[in-house]
Structure 1
Amino acid sequence: MLQISQSYIQVITDSVERVYPQEGCGLLLGTRLQDVTVVVDLYPTENAWNPAVAGMIGVGTGKTDRYWIDPAVMFQAMKAARSRHLDIVGVYHSHPDHPAIPSECDRRLAWPEYSYIIASVRQGNVVEMQCWRLNVQHQFESEMIQVTDPQTSKLAQ
């Protein structure tokens, strides 16, 4: 289960709607407590997808249906998280004019320890948000999202 505050859901919504029709993305910072991942902060990032990335992984599409977080940005986020005794616990990104279901490319590039929030954005508005996590067969399974208010989220830390 992924616990996230309503205010962070709104930040994700605003950020992916702002970059539509491109995919928006960012990182989830937080902690893991047994089977519960608690999102404590967000680390917005730019979609760094470019032709070099497409060539590197063998997928020739653009920012309207792919996202990429620059490894240097990932490293900065890791350092920022660790300085606060947090971890990168997941990634959020959008699917413009497509369902909030992981693509094959999403699956190939996913890391098993992360939760993946996908927001479906249709005509510039988020219409659905789902969370996914890889199982031991490297297939995505739905992960429940528990939306909390800021007070509840702070108690869960």
Structure 2
Amino acid sequence: MVKISLETNNQLVDISEKGFPYEVCGFLLGEIRYGEKESDGMDNEFDIKEILVCENINKETPEIRFEMKEGEYEHAEVVAKDKGLRIIGIYHSHPDHKSYASPTDNLYAQPDTIYLIYSIMNAKFNELKGYILNTKDWELQEIKIETT
């Protein structure tokens, strides 16, 4: 399960709407509580505490794909560590598309990492879905999101 505050969710909706018609992206910082059983990752709890906005540097197809600057992940790790947190996920938007996990999303997915996808239709928020890599079949699967 993913826990996100209403304030943080609203902030991500605003960022996604303002970035339209291009994909926006960034890191989710927080804490992970691991499930009790030998897990495929699906019973872990991800508590989002902060976000770190990144620039989409994709100049060729920013409407359908995001890219982060080289070194952005390392920078996010330092920021998270300084705050006593860790990188727990990545968010991005899908302008004029549903919040589905694309083949590209699945290709780059990592274990113990959540992926929040904000669907923005005609510059307005449409839906949010979260995904996690199921380490039994190595496919992104939808994960429940709880707004607190």
Q: Same fold (TM over 0.5)?
A: yes
Match of residue 131 from structure 2: 132
Instruction: Give the superposition deviation at 1:40.
Output: 0.7
Aligned-CA RMSD value = 1.0
Gaps of 5+ in 2: 35-43
Percent identity of equivalent pairs: 28
Aligned equivalents of 1:86 and 1:69: distance in 2?
21
Instruction: Give the superposition deviation at 1:84.
Output: 1.4
Greater percentage in helix = 1
Match of residue 25 from structure 2: 25
- Secondary structure, aligned partner of 1:111: coil
Question: Which stretch shifts more, 20-29 or 105-114?
Answer: 105-114
Aligned equivalents of 1:130 and 1:74: distance in 2?
23
Alignment TM-score, normalising by the size of structure 1: 0.84
Instruction: Give the superposition deviation at 1:112.
Output: 1.9
Gaps of 5+ in 1: 52-61, 149-157
Aligned equivalents of 2:62 and 2:87: distance in 1?
23
- Secondary structure, aligned partner of 2:71: helix
Instruction: Give the superposition deviation at 1:111.
Output: 1.4
Match of residue 36 from structure 1: 45
Match of residue 120 from structure 2: 121
Which 4+ runs in 1 deviate beyond 4 A? none
Aligned equivalents of 2:113 and 2:67: distance in 1?
15
Match of residue 153 from structure 1: none
Match of residue 144 from structure 1: 144
After TM superposition, list the pairs within 5 Å mapping 1:1-157 onto structure 2.
1-34=1-34, 35-50=44-59, 62-136=61-135, 137-148=137-148
Given residue 129 of structure 1, which amino acid in structure 2 is its aligned partner?
L
**1:74-130 superposed Cα distances (whole Å, 9 cap, x missing partner):** 111110101111100001101111110011011111212210000111000111000
